[in-house]
A and B are shown apart, each in its own frame.
Chain A
């Protein structure tokens, strides 16, 4: 039996990309407006009682100490309670979970969850790549983001015979989907050949195995199910969620063929929602790199461990496949504005469950969609939210 103590009545995002012309505040405002406009029966912004904002790192645009008070003024709601939730790459999905708990507790009836990330105000070298020099002066030196996932690709290939073509097939599929999403960063289709021939970034990962650096914002509106009829006749409910942590450093891992944080979070989320992996109709999972999606679909129980590469190559995760994954284009094509990512994934699940995903609409049979992020140092945290249309 699904948890269903919170309803999602609206969701929207701005078009992701290199938004050099927009400020953090303008992006936040755009996402909030899109969420408000999406509500079936209309929505008065003044109804928002509290906000939870996900922004992972302000240092990418010169803000050391951003906090919960950053967003309300920008969206015209100065004065409301607002709390920043930071939990690495799953910041957006965890802000959603925290917002849902705020509603479920009975403290608030109407809550805004908004993710905003400005990643392209600094040049590449001074932006995310600068993390090569972050962390421990010796043990993590040289550890750019791909270093956190490439060792899993090396080992997955070694143990299961996963190939670069299988990795590339994930990028090809997600670019195909992204080309059908008006809000995606990249709207071009690519071929396996393109991916194989792209420049090496962090062996065995090449450029098209990697998500881009993207500016973006996304917002969703959560309400007490008792008041859902004020906003829509077609609500989506929070069926359950799961969060788990794992050791933060790569050398502390026992295995390099899966992400333990995801496995544990999935177990908790499925139990809370009362579903099995086979009942999930579509999923938005963390594909910061192609190998990550392959690990995810195994760790989430969609395919057998070791078979993620083959399943991807054979189209099992395509929109028309057995379990459509990342119909939005995923992080690889839609983009990965960190704090906004999880919230945007929720928006995609919400659209899919309501049959509003247009060209990229998956077949909804059981009424369940799953959203997943994994990240942090050593993929040390994973957050999963499961949504449902089943009352």
Chain B
């Protein structure tokens, strides 16, 4: 008998924007609209959200990234529908090139799939330390009934086989071959298939009732329940006698975060001891997992800051970021196309933000592949290492004049990092908080969506009173 998997730390992330439901309602000539949903600006997506959450969970765990044996990532829409999504995320988090794991995708159930897959690997002894990440950035069909609620976010769990603050316990699954949310090949937007009443009465509530009866028998004290439209969560909770589920606060702040929703809802309950039922739903399946927390899970308290930040975005900005609203005419092509050898040579140093530390004088040269000789002393002996992820702005600009697909204003900053490296990077956001001496953190962001391919790199984010604590 092996030990069940245990959670030693968690982390959460949300994108920079919040879209008020009233903006969406107004665009379609409707009155009202309750609440808000988190939305990715053009430089964030499921991969950058996953990296943000994973690094926070790993920081809370106190573990080095290179001892992680595997990454289990769940998302309904991997950034490369077919491609190196898992490998890119592993490199960005700084995992060993020998690490394993799996990418679970295809529906919003994939978040809970990733958790179960990692838990089984740990319980079976094939992974000693497993990293679970669930992230999503739902792109709803314009004008659909759930458009106001379609959100984005990420949650990460670090699992081991001992010494965790919480233990993964019983699980229950029910499958039904019904469509719920649907997206076909070549489709960007997720659509609703069914009449809302049909979905509620014949698909969602029967499944929840069936699953809930099994879980309720386990003396559950907290719930993370799905809420696909802003009302069904409350209906399910009522059916189960669950009161107000812990997940309600996450839905209120971020909307429906798809595959990330069950794990984000769990984090909301894991900052205190208790027994939490974590329910994932989607793709014709529902799965509940019981988590027994002996004590508050490290990192869970950071959720409040994630939910509390973000700036209000207009519907128009959101449509631009989602590529639904596009400029007429040609956009300027990246001189280095995605298929360039430069991005093969540079893959590790760009995703891992590597520098070449000169063995003779200590100067850190970035990026390594364009520095066969040290810029300070001319030596050619280097040690490759990730640069520090925190620093101070030495000087900066805010570029207002660029052709499409660039969006102004765009901040660019020369940053002195804590390890002495000097880098120049784009700044996330509109640059309005930039100043000389400002503290910044380096975060993975999507630099471009070039010829249909995402290109990732690091940007600087300016620390504000809201973000200082979590970093």
Interface residues of B in 351-408 (CB under 8 A from A): 366-367, 370, 375, 394-404, 406
Instruction: Name the residue on B nearest A200 (C-beta).
Output: B400
Chain B residues whose C-beta falls within 8 Å of the C-beta of A252 in the assembled complex: 375, 422
Decide: A251 near B423, CB < 8 A? Known: A126-B332, A135-B335, A139-B367: yes
1/0 per residue B395-431: CB within 8 Å of A?
1111111111010011010100000001111100001
Chain A residues whose C-beta falls within 8 Å of the C-beta of B424 in the assembled complex: 139, 249-251
Chain A residues whose C-beta falls within 8 Å of the C-beta of B370 in the assembled complex: 136
A155, B394: Cβ atoms under 8 Å? yes
Query: B53 within 8 Å of A by Cβ?
Result: no
Q: Pick the contact of B414 from A137, A151, A205 — CB < 8 Å?
A: A151
A202, B400: Cβ atoms under 8 Å? yes
Chain A residues whose C-beta falls within 8 Å of the C-beta of B455 in the assembled complex: 137-138
Q: Which of B343, B395, B396 has the most CB of A within 10 A?
A: B395
Chain-B contact segment, one of A26-34, A141-149, A278-286? A141-149
Chain B residues whose C-beta falls within 8 Å of the C-beta of A139 in the assembled complex: 366-367, 423-425, 457
Chain B residues whose C-beta falls within 8 Å of the C-beta of A126 in the assembled complex: 330, 332, 403
Q: Pick the contact of A155 from B406, B426, B436 — CB < 8 Å?
A: B436
Alpha-carbon gap, A317 to B406, bound state (A): 38
B401, A133: Cβ atoms under 8 Å? no
Decide: A144 near B401, CB < 8 A? Known: A154-B396, A155-B395: yes
A133, B396: Cβ atoms under 8 Å? no
Query: A241 within 8 Å of B by Cβ?
Result: no
Alpha-carbon gap, A139 to B458, bound state (A): 9
Query: A201 within 8 Å of B by Cβ?
Result: yes
B397, A147: Cβ atoms under 8 Å? yes
Interface residues of A in 109-154 (CB under 8 A from B): 124-126, 129-130, 132-139, 141-144, 146-147, 150-152, 154
1/0 per residue B433-470: CB within 8 Å of A?
00010000000000110100001011000000000000
Q: Pick the contact of A158 from B336, B412, B431, B436 — CB < 8 Å?
A: B436
Decide: A203 near B400, CB < 8 A? Known: A142-B426, A251-B422: yes
Chain B residues whose C-beta falls within 8 Å of the C-beta of A249 in the assembled complex: 424
1/0 per residue B263-306: CB within 8 Å of A?
00000000000000000000000000000000000000000000
Query: B1 within 8 Å of A by Cβ?
Result: no
B399, A147: Cβ atoms under 8 Å? yes
Chain A residues whose C-beta falls within 8 Å of the C-beta of B410 in the assembled complex: 142
Query: A322 within 8 Å of B by Cβ?
Result: no
The count of residues in chain B whose C-beta lies closer than 8 Å to any C-beta of chain A is: 44
Decide: A142 near B406, CB < 8 A? Known: A203-B400, A251-B366: yes
Chain B residues whose C-beta falls within 8 Å of the C-beta of A129 in the assembled complex: 332, 401-403
Chain B residues whose C-beta falls within 8 Å of the C-beta of A130 in the assembled complex: 332, 403
Chain A residues whose C-beta falls within 8 Å of the C-beta of B335 in the assembled complex: 133-135
Chain B residues whose C-beta falls within 8 Å of the C-beta of A125 in the assembled complex: 332, 403-404
Query: A271 within 8 Å of B by Cβ?
Result: no
Secondary structure of the B contact surface, majority rule: mixed
B412, A147: Cβ atoms under 8 Å? yes
Query: B19 within 8 Å of A by Cβ?
Result: no
B395, A256: Cβ atoms under 8 Å? yes
Decide: A142 near B332, CB < 8 A? Known: A151-B414, A251-B423: no
Alpha-carbon gap, A251 to B396, bound state (A): 11
Alpha-carbon gap, A253 to B415, bound state (A): 11
1/0 per residue A187-220: CB within 8 Å of B?
0000000000001111111000000000000000
Query: A354 within 8 Å of B by Cβ?
Result: no
Query: A108 within 8 Å of B by Cβ?
Result: no
Chain A residues whose C-beta falls within 8 Å of the C-beta of B447 in the assembled complex: 137-138, 141
The count of residues in chain A whose C-beta lies closer than 8 Å to any C-beta of chain B is: 39
Q: Pick the contact of B401 from A134, A201, A250 — CB < 8 Å?
A: A201
Alpha-carbon gap, A129 to B403, bound state (A): 7
Q: Pick the contact of B375 from A133, A158, A247 — CB < 8 Å?
A: A247
Alpha-carbon gap, A124 to B404, bound state (A): 12
Instruction: Name the residue on A nearest B343 (C-beta).
Output: A137
Chain A residues whose C-beta falls within 8 Å of the C-beta of B394 in the assembled complex: 155, 256
Q: Pick the contact of B448 from A124, A141, A146, A256 — CB < 8 Å?
A: A141
Decide: A151 near B396, CB < 8 A? Known: A133-B333, A138-B457, A144-B401: yes
- Nearest Cβ distance between residue B420 and chain A, in whole angstroms? 12
B414, A203: Cβ atoms under 8 Å? no
Alpha-carbon gap, A256 to B401, bound state (A): 22
Alpha-carbon gap, A132 to B448, bound state (A): 12
- Nearest Cβ distance between residue A255 and chain B, in whole angstroms? 10
B402, A150: Cβ atoms under 8 Å? no
Alpha-carbon gap, A204 to B395, bound state (A): 11
Decide: A152 near B395, CB < 8 A? Known: A137-B447, A251-B414: yes
Q: Pick the contact of A154 from B346, B402, B436 — CB < 8 Å?
A: B436
Task: Give 28 CB contacts A-B under 8 Å.
Answer: A125-B404, A126-B332, A129-B402, A130-B332, A132-B402, A135-B335, A135-B336, A136-B342, A137-B336, A137-B342, A137-B447, A139-B367, A139-B423, A139-B424, A141-B447, A142-B399, A142-B412, A146-B397, A151-B412, A151-B414, A155-B394, A155-B436, A202-B399, A202-B400, A203-B397, A253-B414, A253-B422, A256-B395
Beyond known contacts A125-B404, A151-B395, A202-B397: 20 more, CB 8 A cutoff: A124-B403, A125-B403, A130-B403, A132-B402, A133-B332, A133-B334, A136-B367, A137-B334, A137-B340, A138-B455, A139-B366, A142-B426, A146-B401, A147-B397, A147-B399, A150-B397, A151-B397, A203-B398, A203-B409, A250-B424
| A residues apposed to B, CB below 8 Å | 124-126, 129-130, 132-139, 141-144, 146-147, 150-152, 154-155, 158, 199-205, 247, 249-253, 256
Would you list the 10 A-B pairs with minimal beta carbon distance, nearest first? A138-B457, A125-B403, A203-B398, A150-B397, A251-B424, A155-B395, A134-B335, A151-B395, A137-B336, A132-B402
